[in-house]
Amino acid sequence: MAQSEAHSTKAATISSQAPTISKVGERTLRRTSAWLLLFFLLLGELGAVWDREWHAFVGRDQFWTPPHTLIYTCVSGAGILALVMVLWETYRYRKQTPGVDAQSTVAIFRFFHAPLGFTVLGFGALLALISAPLDNYWHELYGIDIALWAPFHMMGVTGGFIGMLGMVYVFASEASIQRQSKETPRRWLGLTALEIGIIMAMASILNYVLTGFLQFPMVSIGTIHISTYPLPLITGCITFMVAVLRTTQKPGTATLLTLLLTLHTIVVELFVPWAIRVSVAQQGIPYRTASYVPQFSLAYAFLPVAFLLSALMIDVLAYRYKRTTGNLNISTRQNVILGVIISIPILIITPFILFSYTVYAPVILPEAGIPIVASQMGIAIIGTVIVALAMGALGAWLGEDFGDIWRWSKH
């Protein structure tokens, strides 16, 4: 009798532990997949910059150039992994596996159920892959095209951007689940591994913005030309500086984001010019201009330094506000005003850093050899400042909304 009771007690204990073990397994599965996806993201981001420079220095003689091979290998790997996760999570959802429910998944076409981040990432990868043969067909029709704005370039860029946003959702949802559980994870600089993953994914998105920022068109007012490249820099940087603070609730993360972005650009500049020179030598193909050979650019490598002052400003304000109120979340109005203020250093410092990198570094470019009309110059300067400040306000507003979503969403 006593032996039977002991056996029943042991069976009950094992049964009660099963849901807990299953939830732990679910967390491990999603987090391992997240880090694998981040690996694909980082390599794909490197391939995107390599492809931009390959077009500029070499051109495009075939589809399977070395950077294209890297890009589409990474996109395919990420897409397949996302698809596997969607199918596997759907299966586990229908089995009512603990940890896989309506709180941690979203419905897709009323049949599939999977975490939102993997779903978004999968659709982004699919869009990028569909763009590949269409972009190749475009090149066969129209030849070399190094402009960002070709339709199927934009389709691929959009797919990549959607996939990167999905990557942030993947890490953010796991961080939210971890935060609301009894788990006590190890921390570095006050951040969990998942929060560091969020920051790394955001840094990758910002580096992606830098890939094509100089391809933005110029606006002309009479004989005055205005470079629009500061607009994506201001909007992107401020969006993610605010978002990373709202997501992690840790002062200092905006600066950390900027430093990680700087690390990205340094690695890119160390790798890409070298990779182009080696590939060209091995394949025996000519440069588009024989004297135009890629070299390490100090200006591009340290371009994120232009954002450092803005990051420090927002972090100092967050630190002081949190010490005073116990919460670093300022009101939307204050946040928008902050976005306007911190956009000014980016607008001023960036052209100085880019001066040796491109002739289009100055934001205001008068037509060479033509006298400057004072009224046109005044309109150009005032208009540029107003639009730049508006982009800063927009970035702060977007960062607040996305940051709050990423802070609390468990999907």
Q: How many CA atoms lie within 13 A of 136 on its CB side?
A: 12
Rounded distance, CA 357 to CA 218, Å?
17
Supply the pLDDT for residue 146.
Answer: 55
Q: What's the residue count for the chain?
A: 411
Bridging pattern class, strands 112-114 and 106-108 = antiparallel
Distances (CA, A) of 83 to 77, 123, 237: 10, 9, 31
Domain limits at 57? Answer: 1-187
Q: Is residue 34 part of a domain?
A: yes
Q: What is the total count of domains within the chain? A: 2
The burial class, CB within 10 Å (0-12 / 13-18 / 19+), for 385 is: middle
Supply the pLDDT for residue 376.
Answer: 82
Rounded distance, CA 347 to CA 9, Å?
69
Domain shared by 359 and 298, yes or no? yes
Rounded distance, CA 149 to CA 215, Å?
8
Cα dihedral 92/93/99/103 (nearest 10) = 160
Supply the pLDDT for residue 13.
Answer: 42
Domain shared by 222 and 130, yes or no? no
Domain shared by 152 and 3, yes or no? yes
72, 132 contact by CB (below 8 A): yes
State the CB neighbour count (10 A cutoff) for residue 94.
11
Supply the pLDDT for residue 20.
Answer: 56
Rounded distance, CA 67 to CA 120, Å?
24
Domain shared by 69 and 113, yes or no? yes
Domain shared by 181 and 40, yes or no? yes
Alpha helices in 107-191 (DSSP H): 116-142, 151-179
Domain shared by 36 and 120, yes or no? yes
Supply the pLDDT for residue 61.
Answer: 66
67, 50 contact by CB (below 8 A): yes
Q: Is residue 8 part of a domain?
A: yes
Q: Is residue 240 part of a domain?
A: yes
Strand partners, 107: 113
294, 276 contact by CB (below 8 A): yes
Strand partners, 191: 188
Supply the pLDDT for residue 2.
Answer: 46
Domain shared by 175 and 242, yes or no? no
Q: Is residue 311 part of a domain?
A: yes
Rounded distance, CA 302 to CA 300, Å?
5
Please provide the DSSP assignment of 138-150 as one string: HHHHH-----TTS
Q: Is residue 303 part of a domain?
A: yes
Q: Is residue 239 part of a domain?
A: yes
Domain shared by 178 and 224, yes or no? no
Of 33, 19, 35, 220, the residue nearest 115 (C-alpha): 33
Domain shared by 127 and 173, yes or no? yes
Domain shared by 279 and 329, yes or no? yes
> pLDDT truncated to tens, each residue of the chain (411 aa)?
444 444 444 444 433 444 555 567 778 888 999 999 999 999 988 988 888 888 888 876 677 888 989 999 999 999 999 999 999 989 888 888 877 888 878 888 888 888 889 999 999 999 999 988 888 888 777 766 556 677 888 888 899 999 999 999 999 999 998 888 877 888 888 899 999 999 999 999 999 888 776 677 788 888 888 888 889 999 999 999 999 999 999 999 999 999 999 999 999 999 999 999 999 888 888 888 878 888 998 988 999 999 999 999 999 999 999 999 988 899 999 999 999 999 999 999 999 998 877 777 788 888 777 777 778 888 888 999 999 999 999 999 999 999 999 998 888
Calculate Rg over the CA atoms of the chain.
24
Q: Is residue 130 part of a domain?
A: yes
166, 118 contact by CB (below 8 A): yes
Task: Please state the pTM of the whole predicted model.
Answer: 0.88
Tokens of 95: 């089995």
Domain shared by 167 and 25, yes or no? yes
Q: Quote the distance between the C-alpha of residue 198 and its chain's center.
A: 10
Q: Is residue 41 part of a domain?
A: yes
Final residue before a domain boundary, out of 166, 187, 208: 187
Supply the pLDDT for residue 136.
Answer: 80
Phi, then psi, of 300 in degrees rounded to 5 = -70, -40
DSSP letter assigned to residue 355 = T
212, 203 contact by CB (below 8 A): no
Domain shared by 233 and 298, yes or no? yes
State the CB neighbour count (10 A cutoff) for residue 97.
16
Of 117, 121, 125, 120, the residue nearest 155 (C-alpha): 125
Final residue before a domain boundary, out of 187, 206, 241: 187
